[in-house]
Amino acid sequence: SERIVVVGGGLGGVRSAERLREMGFDGQITILSAERHLPYHRPCLSKQIITGEWTPDDSLLSFSGDLDAEWRLNSPALHLDPKKQSVWVPGGEEIKYDGMIIATGVDARAMGGAPRHDPRVHVLRTLDDAVAIRRNIRQSQGLVAVIGGGFIGCELACSVRHMGRDVALIVRSPALLGGVVGDDIGKKITEAHVEHGVRLATGVGIKHWVRQPGGIGIHLSDGQVFFASCVVLAVGASPAVDWLRGSGLDISDGVLCDSTNHVVGAENLVACGDVARWPNMRFNGVVRRVEHWLNAVEGGRAAAENLLVGRNHAKTYTPVPRFWTEQYGMRVQGAGLPVLGTDTTDVNGLTGFIANGKLVGIVGLESPGKIITETPELFRQNTVETNVPVWTQPEPAAA
């Protein structure tokens, strides 16, 4: 019978595997996972797992009891030959597939110059990372230094304050969540961090690091020095595509797909989640990756469907990306692709992001439900009360 191999046992991987079964696929499903854990929620890693409100077991994802998959944990894919339709795993074993779903996500980015092998220096991507950070924080008394002011850095700083510990948030850009949520909301988030006692250093670089027995000295470009007993580097992520080197696929920023999740230049191969780069026809075909939870769910399901029906019958994957972040009890929600915006405008009390005179994204603070439920409609209907035309195309007719 047929075999579909899912590479990556995270959110996108497990949701795509579930969709295969829902669609009636009754062949073998093999899930290769680089990790030793069954799939778990990542959003809680910078939140409830750090604070201790949740145990690691609380983070495990529930999934369909009918999955009937062969789970290979601790078994990363090492090499792919898309022409032969074969993948290799540790021990030299070759696994042949009739269809493959790539869902390997991203890895936390390393930071040049930072001490790499010091146990007090961490990144945050996996459950094991989060557990190690929490242990380090609890077993030491000093300052916790978080480098990077994106979602993960900000959430971490908030969680560390929640634990009653001193935290410094060191950020190269002048504002927190730079560019992603707009100036107004960025300012409110920044103020909240200061109000809650975060020692904030923005617009600074790191000149050098000094490792000492009692902690790590972080010397900043503006002359400030922080001395930390725990350091977390939250400076972005890069697609987990090392295993695809030599496969002939375009992996310049993630795995390049067409508008229907099919990997360009290969047959019976789709990709989803953080690692997939594809042209979203709802946004004039702009080719991007989307590193948000919901895109792994929606993209995973779409990729599974499009793998089973085949490239010629596949539907375009045209989501309105949506995301959220929580800090100090405040909830920021967003939709669309705000990063494309060159200007902002008020849209019914939300921040609208404009490019070429068209709406490309919306972000709101404390607007529960509104963004998640209403915005997709906003983007679909092409009618926004503010007279800002929405940047969208009708979905191309199915081939």
Applying CB under 6 A, which residues contact ligand FAD?
A: 7-13, 32-35, 42-43, 45-46, 76-77, 103-105, 124-125, 152, 240, 243, 273-275, 291-294, 296, 323-325
Nearer Cβ to ligand FAD, position 148 or 215? 148
> In the complex, what is the shortest distance from the CB of residue 33 to ligand FAD, in angstroms, rounded to a whole number?
5
Per DSSP, the three-state class of 156 is: helix
> In the complex, what is the shortest distance from the CB of residue 105 to ligand FAD, in angstroms, rounded to a whole number?
2
Nearer Cβ to ligand FAD, position 16 or 318? 16
Nearer Cβ to ligand FAD, position 207 or 245? 245
Query: Cα separation of 265 and 258, whole Å?
Result: 10
> In the complex, what is the shortest distance from the CB of residue 43 to ligand FAD, in angstroms, rounded to a whole number?
4
- Helix (H) or strand (E) segment spanning residue 157: helix 151-162
* HEC readout, 89-100: CCCCCEEECCEE
Report angle CA 349, 354, 387 to the nearest 5 degrees.
65
Amino acid at 273: G
> In the complex, what is the shortest distance from the CB of residue 339 to ligand FAD, in angstroms, rounded to a whole number?
14
Q: Which residue is nearest to ligand FAD, using beta carbons?
A: 10
> In the complex, what is the shortest distance from the CB of residue 60 to ligand FAD, in angstroms, rounded to a whole number?
13
> In the complex, what is the shortest distance from the CB of residue 130 to ligand FAD, in angstroms, rounded to a whole number?
7
> In the complex, what is the shortest distance from the CB of residue 264 to ligand FAD, in angstroms, rounded to a whole number?
18
- The upper half-sphere exposure of residue 7, i.e. CA atoms within 13 Å in the direction of its Cβ, equals 30
Nearer Cβ to ligand FAD, position 67 or 220? 67
Nearer Cβ to ligand FAD, position 232 or 384? 232
Amino acid at 21: R
Query: Cα separation of 74 and 106, whole Å?
Result: 17
Instruction: Report DSSP state, residue 136.
Output: H
Question: Beta strands of 151-295 (E only): which ranges?
Answer: 167-170, 199-201, 206-212, 215-220, 225-233, 237-239, 255-256, 269-271, 276-280, 286-288
Nearer Cβ to ligand FAD, position 13 or 215? 13
> In the complex, what is the shortest distance from the CB of residue 181 to ligand FAD, in angstroms, rounded to a whole number?
13
DSSP per-residue codes, 165-202: --EEEE-SSSSTTTTTS-HHHHHHHHHHHHHTT-EEE-
Nearer Cβ to ligand FAD, position 227 or 328? 328
Nearer Cβ to ligand FAD, position 9 or 341? 9
Report angle CA 370, 186, 113 to the nearest 5 degrees.
130
